[in-house]
Amino acid sequence: MSNTSAQPGTVYLVGAGPGDPDLLTLRAAQLLAEADVLVYDALVSEPILDRVKPGAERIYAGKERGNHTIPQEDINHLLVRLAKEGKCVVRLKGGDPYTFGRGGEEVETLAANGVPFEVVPGITAAAGVAAYTGIPLTHRNHAQACVFVTGHLKDGTMNLDWPGLARRRQTVVIYMGLHGLATVCAKLVEHGLPPDWPAAIVQQGTTPNQRTVTGTLATLPGLAEAAHLKAPTLIIVGETVTLQSKLSWFEHQAWRDD
């Protein structure tokens, strides 16, 4: 199916990746060039939107903290309506549609209404940001497991599996955790990790606005506040953070100083 052209009356849930347009998949780029309608999120970067077919209808459905342009249930039914109007619909999401992207909820609605769909995976923020900051998600000497978790639950709480997260020999990646950073760090220490456990927070990874702040569970909240970081951010906790200073490459590229 990945070699076929986009079909009318179909919804394509497409992962836009973490921000750098060069990280789009070939299938994603093809669909952007063929879509009749684009329904896109706040985390989709402008250089990626520049690849959308000229004349395609664009509908912004972004969700930012405390400001949901269109409620999720309405987005679900919007996709159904557009497809039943015979349009080729691309639902473009930052990162990967099935990794904290609510793609599962949207596909459930499409399937329940008999709407054809295809899911096009994207590079999730954890993988992209880790690569661009020089923090491996796994490493034989430091971490044999990796856990992805959201720092913002549906009910607004941070009632996470803290004992499971506060373990050595693993890397923990927290999405959407900027405003809860102090709580994250305090809870991980409360449940067993030492205060000097390595931790980092990355702003707008893989884009020209990428900034990385490294520290420990004890120091990171203060360092992040002093740096005046802006969402979206990604928190990475674990021993592999100690490799960042020697493996970092993106933030030191010469073109960033032009």
Q: What domains are there in the chain, each with its CATH number?
A: 11-120 (3.40.1010.10), 125-252 (3.30.950.10)
Q: How far apart are CA 205 and CA 116, in angstroms?
A: 33
Average pLDDT over residues 42-60: 95
pLDDT confidence of 65, banded at 50, 70, 90?
A: low
Is pTM beyond 0.85 here? yes
As to burial, measured by CB atoms within 10 angstroms (0-12 exposed, 13-18 middle, 19+ buried), residue 56 is middle
Average pLDDT over residues 162-183: 96
Q: What is the pLDDT of residue 255?
A: 46
Q: Is a pLDDT exceeding 70 seen at residue 76? A: yes
Q: What is the pLDDT of residue 162?
A: 96
pLDDT confidence of 158, banded at 50, 70, 90?
A: confident
Secondary structure in 3-state letters for 111-176? HHCCCCEEEECCCCHHHHHHHHHCCCCCECCCECEEEEEECCCCCCCCCCCHHHHCCCCEEEEEEC
- Give the number of other CB atoms < 10 A from CB of residue 239: 16
Average pLDDT over residues 179-205: 97
Q: Which residues are designated catalytic?
A: 41, 63
Average pLDDT over residues 77-100: 97
